[in-house]
């Protein structure tokens, strides 16, 4: 199989998979824009009628800040009270099993504090009916967090603690996933890269998601460049991705060699890819993976790439050793 001539690059080769610290992020504001500014395809979904004053300075010595919650201009104590009330509501929402009740509590939290990103994340997951609706909610969550970001920094200086970035990262992850499902591939890849740069601990396994997405988008050279930067990293995504990479190049000898390694390290992936075992409906979270579930996660990421490569599944079924 010959390599395709690639057109416009989804990811510049000058963008390394570097994860910056929160301190660097705050200091330099590296790519601190909404995904809509990073890539034209992710459009703003509204401002919900409330903004952070551009003229305000958020320092630990201040006792008041100019931050508008809904239609009201609040001081620090008022803002914190509404924020914590919304935080309490979301804690309740996450503990209930009924989705409708979860949605109702999240909507109530937004009435209390309209810039509460976690509430938008819940609506994206449990209320949205399709990828467009999910993207809209996640984008609103991203914008809400970025409006509130400077106040979060102010609050952290008061409480001597870091603001919780998890809801923001969750919203960005959700936006990237939604863009991919909408076949807006390049925009999705840019959003994944931005999240990888900001998320110091990579709790979502973004580097492996990017690896799999590059294969799915036929970015074979960029796939190989990226895995070459982490040669000591052991992952089923990498090992099974390399098998497919060499098969696509027509280098069957290398493909067979990599297949032997992949089968030794993570044999269950083959069962999922060939359909011998059905992938579960709900995928495990990256932060909770063990040796067994990591293979399920890898197979789910690579499944489309294998299926879309002519002859790959037939070759794999013939090449996998029979028990």
- Same domain? For 125 and 239 the reply is no
Shared domain for 251 and 186, answered yes or no, is: no
Give pairs for 61-68: CB < 8 Å, separation 24+: 62/154, 65/151, 65/154, 67/148, 67/151
Name the domain boundary from 198, 214, 240: 198
Do residues 68 and 191 share a domain?
yes
Please check whether residues 175 and 127 belong to one and the same domain: yes
Q: What is d(CA 105, CA 93) in angstroms, rounded to the nearest whole number?
A: 6
| CB-CB contact of 286 with 297 (8 Å) | yes
Please list, in sequence order, all residues whose beta carbon lies within 8 angstroms of the beta carbon of residue 38, skipping any fewer than 6 positions away.
31, 190, 191, 194
Range of the domain at 190: 24-198
162 and 222 together in one domain: no
Note if the pTM is more than 0.85: no
Asked if 309 contacts 247 with a C-beta cutoff of 8 angstroms, the reply is yes
Q: Considering 149, 168, 198, which residue would you say is the last residue of a domain?
A: 198
For the chain, 323 residues long, give each residue's pLDDT as a single digit of tens.
Answer: 444 443 333 333 333 333 333 344 334 433 443 333 433 333 332 222 333 332 233 233 333 445 555 545 566 777 888 888 999 999 999 998 899 999 999 999 999 999 999 999 999 999 999 999 999 999 999 999 988 877 766 666 666 566 778 899 999 999 999 999 999 999 999 999 999 888 878 888 999 999 999 999 999 999 999 998 887 788 999 999 999 999 999 999 999 999 999 999 999 999 999 999 999 888 888 888 888 899 999 999 999 999 999 999 999 999 987 76
> Does residue 17 fall inside a structural domain?
no
| Both tokens assigned to 155 | 């609050």
- pLDDT at residue number 36: 37
Q: How many C-beta atoms lie closer than 10 Å to residue 76's C-beta?
A: 16
Among 161, 177, 198, which residue terminates a domain? 198
Residue 74's H or E segment, with its range, is: strand 72-74
Same domain, residue pair 167 and 36: yes
- Whether residue 189 is found in the same domain as residue 173: yes
Q: How many domains does the chain have?
A: 2
**283 and 150 in one domain?**
no
Same domain membership, residue 211 and residue 193: no
Residue 15 maps to a domain: no
What's residue 160's pLDDT? Answer: 59
- The dihedral formed by the CA atoms of 154, 156, 157 and 160, expressed in degrees to the nearest 10: 170
In the chain, what is the straight-line distance between the N-terminal and C-terminal CA atoms, in Å? Answer: 30
Whole-number pLDDT of residue 15 = 39
């Amino acid at each position: 199989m010959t390599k395709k001539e690639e057109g416009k690059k989804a990811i510049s080769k000058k963008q390394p998979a570097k994860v910056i610290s929160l301190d660097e992020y705050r200091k330099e504001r590296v790519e601190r824009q909404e995904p809509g500014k990073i890539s034209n395809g992710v459009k703003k979904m509204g401002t919900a009628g409330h903004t952070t004053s551009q003229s305000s300075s958020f320092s630990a010595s201040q006792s008041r800040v100019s931050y508008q919650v809904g239609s009201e201009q609040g001081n620090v104590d008022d803002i914190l009270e509404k924020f914590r009330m919304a935080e309490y509501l979301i804690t309740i929402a996450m503990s209930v099993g009924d989705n409708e009740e979860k949605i109702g509590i999240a909507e109530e939290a937004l009435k209390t504090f309209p810039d509460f990103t976690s509430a938008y994340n819940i609506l994206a997951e449990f209320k949205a009916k399709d990828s467009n609706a999910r993207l809209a909610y996640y984008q609103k969550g991203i914008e809400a967090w970025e409006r509130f970001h400077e106040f979060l920094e102010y609050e952290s200086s008061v409480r001597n603690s870091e603001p919780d970035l998890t809801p923001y990262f969750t919203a960005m992850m959700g936006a990237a996933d939604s863009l991919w499902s909408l076949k807006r591939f390049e925009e999705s890849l840019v959003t994944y890269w931005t999240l990888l740069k900001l998320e110091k601990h990579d709790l979502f396994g973004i580097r492996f998601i990017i690896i799999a997405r590059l294969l799915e988008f036929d970015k074979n050279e960029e796939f190989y460049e990226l895995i070459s930067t982490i040669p000591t990293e052991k992952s089923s995504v990498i090992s099974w991705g390399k098998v497919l990479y060499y098969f696509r190049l027509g280098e069957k000898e290398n493909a067979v060699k990599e297949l032997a390694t992949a089968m030794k390290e993570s044999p269950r992936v083959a069962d999922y890819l060939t359909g011998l075992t059905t992938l579960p409906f709900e995928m495990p979270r990256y932060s909770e993976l063990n040796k067994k579930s990591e293979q399920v996660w890898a197979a789910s990421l690579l499944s489309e790439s294998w299926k879309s490569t002519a002859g790959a599944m037939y070759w794999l079924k013939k090449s996998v050793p029979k028990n």
